[in-house]
Amino acid sequence: MEDCKTPSSFFVMNDVLLIGYGNPLRGDDGIGWAVAERMAEGKTAVSMQTITQHQLLPEHAEPISQAKLVIFVDAAVGETPGAIQCEPVQPIPPQPGAFTHHLTPAGLLSMAQDVFDHCPPAYLFTIIGAAFEFSEEISPLLQQKLPELLEKIEAVAG
């Protein structure tokens, strides 16, 4: 019988896992998806697996447990559109009921540790959005800031 704390042998340990999340139909909220798509094109020096999702899900704990480093990318609301922030994420157990509507990067790291006995280092990159109306395009400001965001992610991942 397989130990439930042993990740599936189907998955291969990845150097970096990037999870871009948000709503790509709400303008700048789709920046995580745009970053993941750029990274998935393979034009970076870092081996990277990418996941895009509207929100973080418990199912992400397994691929997180298979990574050596995890990078989360999301949009944020704030006073300075285009401002980029990077902060380390530490595992914090999710609050009861958090699985149904809102799971944080810290909660996912905690799940990866609890279920699969591996919690890699992780960082959350956020960029303050300028436009969150219904649109499949990110704002011109965030399009302009995208190369800088990609460079910062590559610097952390490399």
Q: What pLDDT, on the 0 to 100 scale, is given for residue 52?
A: 97
The pLDDT confidence band at residue 102, using thresholds 50, 70 and 90, is: confident
Closest by Cα among 55, 49, 51, 50 to 22: 55
Assess if residue 2 is contained within a domain.
no
Average pLDDT in the chain: 88
Task: Provide the angle, in degrees to the nearest 10, between the axes of the packed helices 31-40 and 140-157.
Answer: 50
Assess if residue 5 is contained within a domain.
no
- Domain of residue 81 covers 14-157
CA neighbours closer than 13 Å in the CB half-sphere of residue 35: 34
Q: What pLDDT, on the 0 to 100 scale, is given for residue 93?
A: 78
The pLDDT confidence band at residue 44, using thresholds 50, 70 and 90, is: confident
Assess if residue 133 is contained within a domain.
yes
**Who has greater pLDDT, 2 or 58?**
58
Assess if residue 7 is contained within a domain.
no
Assess if residue 136 is contained within a domain.
yes
Please return the burial class of 145, using the count of CB atoms within 10 Å of its CB with bins 0-12, 13-18 and 19+.
buried
Q: Average pLDDT of 20-49?
A: 90
pLDDT in tens, 50-81: 999 999 999 999 999 999 999 999 999 999 99
Name the domain count of the chain: 1
* pLDDT exceeds 70 at position 12: no
Q: What pLDDT, on the 0 to 100 scale, is given for residue 10?
A: 37
51: CATH: 3.40.50.1450
